[in-house]
Amino acid sequence: MNSMAQEGGGRVVLITGAGQGIGAAIARRFALQGEKLVLVDVNAEQLRLLAESLADTGCEMMQMTADVASKDQVHELVSHVVERFGRLDVLVNNAGIIRDNLISNISEQDWDQVLDVNLKGAFLCCQAVFPTFKQQRSGKIVNIVSRAWLGSIGQANYTASKGGLVSLTRSLALEFARFQVNVNAVAPGAIDSPMTQGLTQEARERLIRMQPTGKMGRVEDIAAAVAFLASEDAEFITGQVLHVDGGKSVGLLSL
């Protein structure tokens, strides 16, 4: 890693969908490590609240309201970051949405929106940071996918987007390896965040019953995995999917 940005202080970390939930926990984790944060979200108010809540860490941060599905906004965002910090060390593609339904009821709009944010958004961000990473000969990308990429009823649009993101992760890992850039994915299982808090009580209870551990994971569990994959300890790991799901991806429960 370039000596200008040693791990555990001073690396520039860009997190999309940072405004709440898993993204906000990732932001706190990196803030406590002493990194410089670029917090990106479509929701400006959420970003403001997050920045307030991180004030106690004393970290340097920059908030940017942007839609990851917009090529212009993503490229403008990355130019601002490079202009301000002169470098970028870590990209976490966390922004994601769900529009769950059985296949017959998925509208074309729900299909397009989910694919646009979850898959195209990550593609645009990877593409935008690549010239900087290539020039630095260093960089870490962590894509937040989902355990659901393995298959999930009522989530065809979501699982297709996350499965696509796994394939993007693997292809870019190969393409970027020669530039010392690592590309990995974290696949959360059911995590207690605003996304799952938005489910009906019945759907939440059903989800919990389906977990081998009998409970949801915490947003901090995902942040810890992201911090590991973005660290020097993971230098020789690329193109991998780390499932952080309490064992859900291992197999069916049959008791």
Ligand X SMILES: NC(=O)c1ccc[n+]([C@@H]2O[C@H](COP(=O)([O-])OP(=O)(O)OC[C@H]3O[C@@H](n4cnc5c(N)ncnc54)[C@H](O)[C@@H]3O)[C@@H](O)[C@H]2O)c1
Tell me which residues touch ligand X (CB under 6 A).
16-17, 19-23, 41-43, 46, 67-69, 94-97, 117, 121, 144, 146, 188, 190-191, 193-196
Residue type (1 letter), 57: T
CA distance 204 to 115: 24
- Cβ 1 to ligand X, closest distance in Å? 26
- Cβ 117 to ligand X, closest distance in Å? 4
Take residue 103 and report the two structure tokens written for it.
């296949």
Take residue 100 and report the two structure tokens written for it.
């769950």
CB neighbour list of residue 83: distance below 8 Å, 6 or more residues apart: none
- Cβ 149 to ligand X, closest distance in Å? 9
Decide: 176 and 133 in contact? Cβ < 8 Å: yes
The residues annotated as belonging to the active site are: 158
- Cβ 136 to ligand X, closest distance in Å? 25
For ligand X, which is the closer residue by CB, 97 or 234?
97
Take residue 66 and report the two structure tokens written for it.
């942007």
- Helix, strand and coil content of the chain, in percent to the nearest 5, comes to 50, 15, 35
For ligand X, which is the closer residue by CB, 60 or 220?
220
For ligand X, which is the closer residue by CB, 45 or 232?
45
Rg (the chain; Cα; Å): 17
CA distance 222 to 72: 29
For ligand X, which is the closer residue by CB, 22 or 234?
22
CA distance 171 to 167: 6
- Cβ 82 to ligand X, closest distance in Å? 19
Q: Which residue has the tokens 């929701």?
A: 43
Closest among 65, 58, 88 to 18, alpha carbons compared: 65
Q: Which residue has the tokens 């959360």?
A: 188
